[in-house]
Structure 1
Amino acid sequence: MENNVSTALLNTRFSVLDLVPIVEGVTASEAIQRSLDLARHVEKLGYTRFWISEHHNMESLASSAPTILIGHIAGGTTTIRVGSGGVMLPNHAPLVVAEQFGTLGTLYPNRIDLGLGRAPGTDQRTAMALRRYRQETVQDFPDNIDELQVYLSRENATAAVRATPGEGVELPLYLLGSSTFSAELAGKKGLPYAFASHFAPTHLHDALRLYHQNFKSSSQLDKPYAMACVNVIAADTDEEAQRLATSAKRFMLGVIRNTRKPLSPPVASMQGEWSEMERMQIEQMMHYTFIGSKQTIAAGLAQFQKETQVDELIVISHIYDHSARLKSYKIVSELFEAKEELAYSS
């Protein structure tokens, strides 16, 4: 691998986002077990953290209760950080989040991350069922973060309402987003920021710019820390990776058609699977998707890192076959396994 490609990734951390996908022919129980297997796999490979997202009313995903899954994953691993990517804060009372993650942080000290988002993680009807018909205002999300931080602080020890466990637990917060709103907010609050470029690429560069422009140091962070999530499907050859990627494309096709079925097996070609308009829409949504062999992936990720200057890449891989998914993460890990060797040679 050429140094000009590799050095762009030298100081970049790599992590994993898992939606706990349910593939055709696999139960929710098996999907959860596969996620634990993946977490153990990437822990051995040296990934920094393993995040689980919150989604509801989707038969293709078993991630409706991320707090429970985080405990399951953390209990089945030993060193990798485990957290939410993220908890959709408008769906929950801040006190409940503080108590639940305070409990996780007590059980697994210095290993739990609390990533927060403001989207519902589902359709509007399900969001109403989750929120009991409470309408969210623009200011609710910032206010709820403030309330959550109060519950987690040691200074709340004399308050009438306290989070136990939770109060004083070492629990870093991260803000997640796919627009500029959360980016600016994360900067002003001095929190790490993660952008969902794996499905909403449009505002990536504006969001990162606003995050850095508005950043103010905090007790958690003295300088900006930016993360971006990207789709990666790696295989021995470009051709095999492109074949595996058809499962992800069919998954996204289900999203735009609102027919969100379990992840389907790959097909030889997407020809006949989608219309030209659907193809264009999905390719736009999956703009930051890297498909190919190790060399192809390395070049693509290095260019992405140069353009964004993010501190951490969060990898998500929609791959039908579990062994192929594990292999994809192994191939990606080879890009950062050789950091010392690359640093010496450069």
Structure 2
Amino acid sequence: MSLPLSVLDLLPIPSGSDAPSALQDALRLVQHVEKLGYSRYWVAEHHNMLGLASSVPLAVLSAASQVTSKIRLGSGGVMLPNHAPLSVAEGYKLLSALAPGRVDLGLGRAPGTDGRTAHALRGQAGLMEEPFERQLADLIAFGTGKYPAGHPFAGIIAAPDGPNLFPPLWILSSSGYGSHVAAHLGAGLSFAWHINPDTVQARMAVETYRRNFRPSPDFPEPKVMVAANVICAGTPEEADDLTLPFGLMFLRLRLGTVGQYPSVEEAKAYPYTPQEKAVADAARARVIAGTPEQVAERLRSLADDVNADELILSSMTHDQTARKRSYELIMNAWQQA
């Protein structure tokens, strides 16, 4: 049986468009990939980025819950240091009430933004700088109602309350740290190969996770999902062109001039210096791009090399038709291989 494929959405706002249109595109996308047979639709958390509409994944997922019926919905992930653990527990239990039995709670310890914005987020929320492990323990206590002896908030109920409302936990990792945390908790591990495309490091993190895994009610066995940037098109040349905006977006991020997600034409017309071209090309190299057969082969190699149980794919394009087509071509090739 083929490994399941899932979708990671950053909700790009194409140049010439706006956030309301991007959100409607996201809702159409989740319906599209549900019909194609994708297992999950996860939304990333990013802040202070004009080109992305994914600052509050919970809002997007709540809307997605009302236009879907089968696909699992999750955060990819909640950047826990930006949030009060009780608020996260309440929000995702409420989402579980909207979409019973199909919610995932992915958690990360990075801010999902620059340091200044992270400080503003945490300051406004009144959050203290606490270790990720402490925040995680508090989240689980609030979510399950099982408090260690002497916990200062024992007895507080993360509402709404009810059986099976607190979703399964996944730990996001781009290094070895998250694999230890996920193994200790008996949580799923989602490795961000799309951020850190070091296959050797990814394999080592997965091996560490599997070796030290402690079974839990949600995960009686270890479960590894690996994220990849993917663009699929009818020809290699078309796919290569579709990666050009991705490179320009990351160059702009490096320069601090991030705007809306650029088009292929904008990327081709940009006056790159040699150094800028190198930055953009390095970003493009992190994208698995090509024809359906080429992409499917590279994805299978990645899954084998890392020993993954599932792949979650982020396909970023300016044109939403090309984006939906990318996911369609990938799934068709994946099922036929």
| TM-score scaled by length of structure 1 | 0.88
Contact 1:235/1:294 (<8 A) preserved: yes
3-state SS of 1:33 partner = helix
Count, aligned residues: 327
The reply to whether residue 29 of structure 1 matches residue 20 of structure 2 is: yes
Q: Distance in 2 between matches of 1:208 and 1:232?
A: 21
Aligned residue in 2 for 1:297: 295
Task: Write the distance in 2 (CA, Å) between the matches of 1:220 and 1:27.
Answer: 39
Give the superposition deviation at 1:280: 4.3
* 1:286 CA drift (Å): 5.1
- Alignment-derived partner of residue 157 in structure 2: 162
Aligned to 2:109: 118
Offset at residue 287 of structure 1 (A): 4.6
- 1:188 match: 184
Give me the whole-angstrom Cα distance separating, in 2, the residues matched to 1:112 and 1:312.
16
CA shift, 1:212, in A, is 2.0
- Distance across 2 between alignment mates of 1:252 and 1:47: 27
SS at 1:315 equivalent: strand
Structure 1 residues 193, 240: CA separation in 2 closer, same or farther (over 3 Å shift)?
same
Q: Secondary structure of the residue that 1:197 maps to in structure 2?
A: coil
Given that 1:235 and 1:241 are in contact with CA atoms closer than 8 Å, whether structure 2 keeps it comes out as: yes
Following the alignment from structure 1 to structure 2, what is the Cα–Cα distance between the partners of residues 270 and 206?
A: 38
Which letter maps to 2:319? Answer: D
Structure 1 residue aligned with 2:212 = 214
Q: What are structure 2's unaligned runs of at least 5 residues?
A: 148-152
User: What is residue 136 of structure 1 aligned with on the other side?
Assistant: 129
Change in CA separation of 1:174 and 1:335 when aligned onto 2, cut-off 3 Å? same
Q: Residues 318 and 273 of structure 1: is their aligned pair in 2 closer, same or farther, counting only changes over 3 Å? A: farther
**Structure 1 residues 218 and 103 mapped into 2: Cα distance closer, same or farther (>3 Å)?**
same
Q: Which stretches in structure 1 are left out of the alignment for 5+ residues?
A: 1-9
* Alignment-derived partner of residue 312 in structure 1: 310
Provide the identity percentage: 37
Cα shift readout 1:212-263 (whole Å, capped 9, x = no counterpart) = 2322212221221111110111011111111111111111212222221111
Q: CA deviation at 1:269?
A: 7.6
- The residue aligned with 2:5 is 14
Listed as ranges, the matches of 1:154-303 within 5 Å are 155=146, 159-166=154-161, 168=163, 169-202=165-198, 203-267=201-265, 273-285=271-283, 287-303=285-301
1:284: Cα distance to partner? Answer: 4.5
| 8 A contact 1:153–1:167 mirrored in 2 | no
Kept in 2, the 8 Å contact 1:253–1:274? The answer is no
CA displacement, residues 11-62 of structure 1 (integer Å, 9 cap, x when unaligned): 3110000011111011100000000010000000000000001111111111
Closer/same/farther in 2, CA of residues 219 and 283 from structure 1, 3 Å limit: farther
CA-to-aligned-CA distance 1:94-118 (integer Å, 9 cap, x gap): 1111111111111210011111111
Other-structure match for 2:150: none
Matched, 1:76 2:67: yes
- Equivalent residue, structure 2, for 1:322: 320
Q: How many Å separate the matches in 1 of 2:284 and 2:244?
A: 12
CA distance in 2, matches of 1:101, 1:270: 42
Shift of 1:199: 2.1
Partner residue, 1:151: 142
